[in-house]
Amino acid sequence: MLEIRDLHVAYGGIQAVKGISIDVPTGRIVTLIGANGAGKTSTLRAISGLCKNRKGSISWNGKDLTGSDPVAIVKAGIVMSPEGRRIFPHLTVLENLQLGAYSRSDKDGIASDMTWVFDLFPRLSERRAQKGGTLSGGEQQMLAVGRALMSKPALVMLDEPSLGLAPLLVREVFDIIREINDKGMTVLLVEQNAHAALKIAHKAYVLETGRVTLSGTGEELIADERVRAAYLGG
């Protein structure tokens, strides 16, 4: 279980996150929805250790991670797949995946996870020797998710995994998220596509200008009038 209490994040004097508290129970899919600039990405960046200007507490299965750096956080079992995919275009698909496993040294475990990722994304298997930059947008997204999975995380944070994808691919991405979750991984999902995110989420938070304004189960929020008006197009 990931517990965030009173998290503050600032960038050069601008407060992006102003004291949010979030729980991500083990084995669940939790989503953060909200408009641009609501503080969703900043929250994920703070959890992953990228933002140094963070206050409040981040605890993971009882262990305090507030001051940890990204490497320690990956080792603790939390990985983030960043917004915009950020795959390495000059490395091959295989190398991108190997890079995801950088923090690990269990060769057999890495090999079996590689097989699993290739089963999950057969397209990547076909293109394993190709440079990441030559993949289509959808394939790059699959690679970004697969790369994150290669660290054998207990908690995967996905930042806008469906951004810029064709509707059919968006469905595929959400199916994959469910599949990952069925495998026992906890998912913290940030999405613009609020409807799809709420549909698969066990728990959801609405963020507005750096604060949590609403929370509940996915179903509750889909039914909520305010959420419908603001994020689900009425």
Partner 1 sequence: MNLATFIQNILNSLTLGSLYALVAIGYTMVYGILRLINFAHSEIFMLGAYFVFWGITLVHLPWPVAMVLAILVTASLGVLVDQVAYRPLRDAPRISALISSIGVSFFLQNVAIVFFQAIPREVYRPQWLEDPILFHGVRVLPLTLFVPLLSLVLMLLLIYIVYRTKTGLGMRAISKDIETSYLMGVPVNRVIAITFGIGSALAAASGIMWALRYPQLQPIMGTIPGFKAFIAAVFGGIGSIQGAVIGGLTLGFIEIMTVAFFPDLAGYRDAFAFVLLILVLMVKPTGLLGERPEDKV
Instruction: Compare residues 52 and 233 and give the one whose CB is closer to partner 1.
Output: 52
Closest separation in Å from C-beta 48 to partner 1: 6
Q: Which is nearer to partner 1, 36 or 182 (CB)?
A: 36
CA separation for the pair 207, 127 (Å, rounded) = 38
Segment interacting with partner 1 (CB under 8 A) among 17-25, 96-104, 121-129, 177-185: 96-104
The binder of partner 1 chosen from 10, 99, 120, 163 (CB under 8 A): 99
The tokens for 40 are: 């969703």
Structure tokens belonging to residue 59: 């605890």
Choose one: 90-98, 118-126, 166-174, 189-197; the region binding partner 1 (CB under 8 A). 90-98
Among 53-61, 122-130, 146-154, 176-184, the segment contacting partner 1 (CB under 8 A): 146-154
Judged by CB under 8 A, does residue 107 bind partner 1? no
- Contact pick of 41, 43, 140, 151 for partner 1 (by CB under 8 A): 151
Strand order across the beta sheet in which 78-81 lies? 78-81, 155-159, 186-191, 29-33, 203-208, 211-216
DSSP state of 153: -
Taking the complex as a whole, how short is the minimal distance between the CB of residue 231 and partner 1, in angstroms? Answer: 26
Instruction: Please report which helix (H) or strand (E) contains residue 195, including its range.
Output: helix 194-200
Three-point CA angle 216, 219, 225, nearest 5°: 80
Residue 84 CB, shortest distance to partner 1, in Å, is 9
- Cβ distance 191 to 198 under 8 Å? no
Half-sphere exposure for 54 (CA within 13 Å, toward CB): 26
CA distance 185 to 155: 6
Residue 178 neighbours by CB distance under 10 Å: 13
Chosen residue from 34, 39, 100, 218 binding partner 1 by CB under 8 A: 100
* 58, 80, 93, 201: which one binds partner 1 (CB under 8 A): 80
Binding site for partner 1 (CB under 8 A): 48, 50, 69-71, 74-75, 79-80, 82, 86, 88-91, 95, 98-100, 102-103, 147-148, 151
